[in-house]
């Protein structure tokens, strides 16, 4: 178990990166606390797998250093780093039995056979592969194979960290839930540092204490689920977290007021904007109230999703979403007000704070 520091890591797959766009990882400077459970969340192609492979030593970063507990491991092999990693697609040794597959990482490290047996049996029980232990792994279904893959990642008890790369993609929803809670339990029990990659926000939010959101080769925000929800540092986080995502509207900022189309909204702070920046106002659908007062909107659609209704409406020539309680009424001449505390202002997509 270890604290992992990523010191100004950049990575390009091509040999001679010329522009920023050639980097699959633009710049990652971050530390993962010892024993933390992190979820790495981001759309496909944003560099999550690349980052994991850099941590585990499967690829060497073009620039930057990696430290485990303060020791530079940048040039150490995967073996020496002692990391467990579960891949997105199942990897099994299909001439071996399920049991031998699970024992493989331990036997390679010369763990005594009695200990191997104890650990493997634990994993077999956890994954529910009991009946298959003695069978060759070849004929198994995709989700059984993925469980073996997952099991091989969990079977070692002495690892510095366990990295999961979308481990449950091919597993059915019910089993997903079971396995995810098993992983969480292992985390509580043994205190491994865990990094869990996913592009599913509920999975991320339920698994982790800290969610790391990546976008286009960068970490755009690290925070608790609540922080990500209330104060998205980047408009992407606003869109990506929450369902429906945050409303982001182009706005002219003038002192402590924001103008959207012909509507003017009072802010409770004065954003610090540099000249020439593209400015936007972000507000979550949950913090817009629909009623008889405020700014006029034209409702285009109402979706009932059980506890809430999602109202799609046209506001100052933009489409916005509003979350309304199930029994909340929708007036004939609807108007909206934005909760000033929940308004975020963005300059060139990044959230801006108050003028000093």
Partner 1 sequence: MEKTWNNKAWFMVLPVLVLVAFSAVIPLMTVVNYSVQDTFGNNEFFWAGTDWFLEVLESDRFWDALTRNLIFSAIILAIEIPLGIVIALNMPKKGIGVPICLVLMALPLLIPWNVVGTIWQVFGRVDIGLLGRAVASLGINYNYVQNPIDAWVTLIIMDVWHWTSLVVLLCYAGLVSIPDAYYQAAKIDGASRWSVFRYIQLPKMKRVLLIAFLLRFMDSFMIYTEPFVVTGGGPGNSTTFLSIDLVKMAIGQFDLGPAAALSIIYFLIILLLSWIFYTVMTTSDAQG
Residues forming the site for Mg ion (CB under 5 A): 49
Number of residues that bind ligand ADP (CB under 6 A): 10
Question: Smallest gap, in angstroms, from Cβ of residue 104 to partner 1?
Answer: 5
From the list 2, 10, 37, 48, which residue makes contact with ligand ADP (rule: CB under 6 A)? 48
46 binds, among ligand ADP, Mg ion, partner 1, none (CB under 5 to 8 A by kind): ligand ADP
d(CA 52, CA 40): 10
CB of 19 to ligand ADP, least distance (A): 14
In the bound state with ligand ADP, the residue whose beta carbon lies nearer, of 53 and 349, is 53
Q: Is 277 in the site for partner 1 (CB under 8 A)?
A: no
Instruction: Figure out which of the listed residues 28, 37, 39, 47 binds ligand ADP, where binding follows CB under 6 A.
Output: 47
Q: Does 144 bind partner 1 (CB under 8 A)?
A: no
Min dist. Cβ of residue 49 to Mg ion (A):
3
Stretch that binds ligand ADP, among 26-34, 41-49, 92-100, 102-110 (CB under 6 A): 41-49
Q: Name which of 57 and 232 has its Cβ closer to partner 1.
A: 57
The verdict on 44 binding partner 1 (CB under 8 A) reads: no
Segment lying near ligand ADP (by CB under 6 A), choices 46-54, 121-129, 153-161, 181-189: 46-54
Determine, following the binding rule CB under 6 A, whether residue 44 of this chain makes contact with ligand ADP.
yes
Residue from 33, 60, 71, 78 in contact with partner 1 (CB under 8 A): 78
Shortest reach from residue 47's CB to ligand ADP, in Å: 4
Nearer Cβ to partner 1 (52/129)? 52
The interface region with ligand ADP, picked from 44-52, 71-79, 116-124, 312-320 by CB under 6 A, is: 44-52
Buried b (16+ CB within 10 A) or exposed e, 72-105: ebeeeeeeebbbbbbbbebebeeebbbbbbbbbb
Candidate list 2, 28, 39, 46; residue touching ligand ADP; CB under 6 A: 46
SS (H, E, C) the chain: CCCEEEEEEEECCCCCCCCHHHCCEEEEEEEECCCCEEEEECCCCCCHHHHHHHHHCCCCCCEEEEEECCEECCCCCHHHHCEEEECCCCCCCCCCEHHHHHHHHHHHCCCCHHHHHHHHHHHHHHHCCHHHCCCEHHHCCHHHHHHHHHHHHHCCCCCCEEEEECCCCCCCHHHHHHHHHHHHHHHHHHCCEEEEEECCHHHHHHHCCEEEEEECCEEEEEECHHHHHHCCCEHHHHHHCCCCCCEEEECEEECCEEEECCEEEECCCCECCCCCCCEEEEECHHHEEEECCCEECEEEEEEECCCEEEEEEEECCEEEEEEEECCCCCCCCCEEEECHHHCEEEECCEECCECC
* Residue of 46, 112, 85 lying closest to 195 (CA atoms): 85
278 binding partner 1? (CB under 8 A): no
Classify residue 202 by burial, with Cβ atoms within 10 Å: 0-12, 13-18, 19+.
exposed
Show contacts with partner 1 in window 214-243 (CB under 8 A). Answer: none
Residue 47 near which of ligand ADP, partner 1, Mg ion, none (CB within 5-8 Å, type-dependent): ligand ADP
Residue 49 binds to ligand ADP (criterion: CB under 6 A): yes
Binding site for partner 1 (CB under 8 A): 53, 56-58, 77-79, 83-85, 87, 89, 91, 93-96, 104-105, 108-109, 136, 149, 152-153
Binding site for ligand ADP (CB under 6 A): 13, 24, 42, 44-50
């Amino acid at each position: 178990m270890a604290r992992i520091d990523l010191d100004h890591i950049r990575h390009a797959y091509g040999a001679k990166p010329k522009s920023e766009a050639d980097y699959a990882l633009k710049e990652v400077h971050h530390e993962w606390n010892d024993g933390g459970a992190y979820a790495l969340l981001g759309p496909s192609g944003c560099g999550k797998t690349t980052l994991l492979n850099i941590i585990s030593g499967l690829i060497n970063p073009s620039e930057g250093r990696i430290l485990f507990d303060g020791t530079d491991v940048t040039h150490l092999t995967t073996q020496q780093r002692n990391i467990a990693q579960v891949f997105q697609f199942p990897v099994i040794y299909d001439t071996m039995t399920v049991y031998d597959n699970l024992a493989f990482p331990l036997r390679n490290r010369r763990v005594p056979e009695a200990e191997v047996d104890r650990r493997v049996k634990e994993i077999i029980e956890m994954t529910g592969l009991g009946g298959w232990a003695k069978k060759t792994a070849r004929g198994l279904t995709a989700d059984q194979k993925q469980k073996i893959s997952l099991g091989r990642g969990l079977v070692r008890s002495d690892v510095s960290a366990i990295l999961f790369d979308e481990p449950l993609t091919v597993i059915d929803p019910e089993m997903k839930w079971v396995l995810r809670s098993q992983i969480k339990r292992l985390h509580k029990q043994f205190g491994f540092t865990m990094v869990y990659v996913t592009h599913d926000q509920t999975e991320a939010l339920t698994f982790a204490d800290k969610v790391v959101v990546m976008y286009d080769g960068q970490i755009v925000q690290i925070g608790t689920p609540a922080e990500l929800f209330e104060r998205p540092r980047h408009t992407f986080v606003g869109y990506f977290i929450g369902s429906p995502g945050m409303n982001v509207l182009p706005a002219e900022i003038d002192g402590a007021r924001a103008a959207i189309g012909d509507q003017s909204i009072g802010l409770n702070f004065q954003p610090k904007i540099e000249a020439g920046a593209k400015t936007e106002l972000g507000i979550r659908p949950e913090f817009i109230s629909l009623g008889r007062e405020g700014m006029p909107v034209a409702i285009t659609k109402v979706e009932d999703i059980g506890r809430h209704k999602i109202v799609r409406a046209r506001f100052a020539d933009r489409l916005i979403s509003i979350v309304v309680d199930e029994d909340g009424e929708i007036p004939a001449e609807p108007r909206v007000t934005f909760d000033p505390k929940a308004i975020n202002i963005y300059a060139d997509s990044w959230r801006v704070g108050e003028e000093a």
